[in-house]
Amino acid sequence: MWLPEPSSVHTCIDKAAFHRVLTEQGVPTPRSWWGDTLDRVPENTQLVVKPRRGHGAQHVHFVEKKEHALLLSKVIPCALVQERVYGTEFTADCLVDRTGRASAILRRRDLVKAGLAAVSTTFRDTTVLGLVLAALRAVRAEGLCCVQGFVQADGQVTITELNVRIAGGFPLTEAAGADLVGQMVNGLFGLPVDHDRLAYRTGVFLTNYVETLAVGETADLKRIAMNGVTT
């Protein structure tokens, strides 16, 4: 395994800690409230209520009233209330070598379903890249990870999360020419990471298709398993 220090991992999986660290380092991230700061949630603001340590868009609720956010915070374990951000969502596939040098491949999340990018396109933006790299430094990231955020209509960039793992849409990064997996393996075994091999082409897209393929009775599954029947 190639992971950063435990403190870095904990910063990334705890949304409150992540917000605190990014704010201290001057990296823009949505305003957030939790614990004894929930009474400071503003009125007439679109909000997101989520678990501090949630994942996969589970138990995430969008509300427009403070009273609704406070009510949800009582039933969602370790709830965090966050200002809702609109704009073009993106993911950056990142590799930080053992010297601290980082490369990032930017992908727009053109269509998102249940927290997963159904359609993505590679792009370049110096402002986005700069803040992605700043977020990596803020949490002392190392190895393979991904950063997510939004580019708002006024051009402002907001970082929303950093995951210490490979992103589900990484095949797009590979298709765009970046040797993400190969260079990760180099770093894993103590070999130099060739950041020139992490260059990529823009305008390359990927689509994901997730659908139910079959429904039926469990008895049918037992019959298929016993008889080796295929359909």
| pLDDT interval class at 213 (50, 70, 90) | low
- For the stretch 73-107, pLDDT in tens is 999 989 999 999 999 999 999 999 999 999 999 99
The residue that leads in pLDDT, 56 or 203, is 203
CB 108 within 8 A of CB 59: no
Average pLDDT over residues 166-178: 93
Q: What is the pLDDT at residue 116?
A: 75
CA dihedral 170, 176, 177, 178 (to 10 degrees): -40
| pLDDT interval class at 192 (50, 70, 90) | very high
User: What's the mean pLDDT when you consider all of the chain?
Assistant: 90
Every domain of the chain and the residues it spans: 31-84, 88-207
Q: What is the pLDDT at residue 115?
A: 67
- What is the percent of the chain with per-residue pLDDT over 90, rounded to a whole number? 74
Residue 169 confidence (pLDDT) above 90: no
- For the stretch 9-39, pLDDT in tens is 999 999 999 999 999 999 999 999 999 899 9
Q: What is the pLDDT at residue 56?
A: 59
Average pLDDT over residues 169-192: 95
Q: What is the pLDDT at residue 57?
A: 63
Residue 231 confidence (pLDDT) above 60: no
Q: What is the pLDDT at residue 114?
A: 65
Domain 88-207 has CATH 3.90.700.10: no
3-state helix/strand/coil string of 164-197 = CCCCCCHHHHHHCCCCHHHHHHHHHCCCCCCHHH
- Which residue in 116, 122, 129 sits closest to 27, CA to CA? 129
Per the DSSP assignment, residues forming a β-bridge with 105 are: 93
Please give the Cα distance from 22 to 101 (Å, whole number).
19
- What is the percent of the chain with per-residue pLDDT over 70, rounded to a whole number? 93
Domain 31-84 has CATH 3.30.1490: yes
- For the stretch 121-156, pLDDT in tens is 999 999 999 999 999 999 999 999 999 999 999 999
Stated pTM of the model: 0.85
Q: What is the pLDDT at residue 209?
A: 76
Cβ count near 194 (within 10 Å): 13
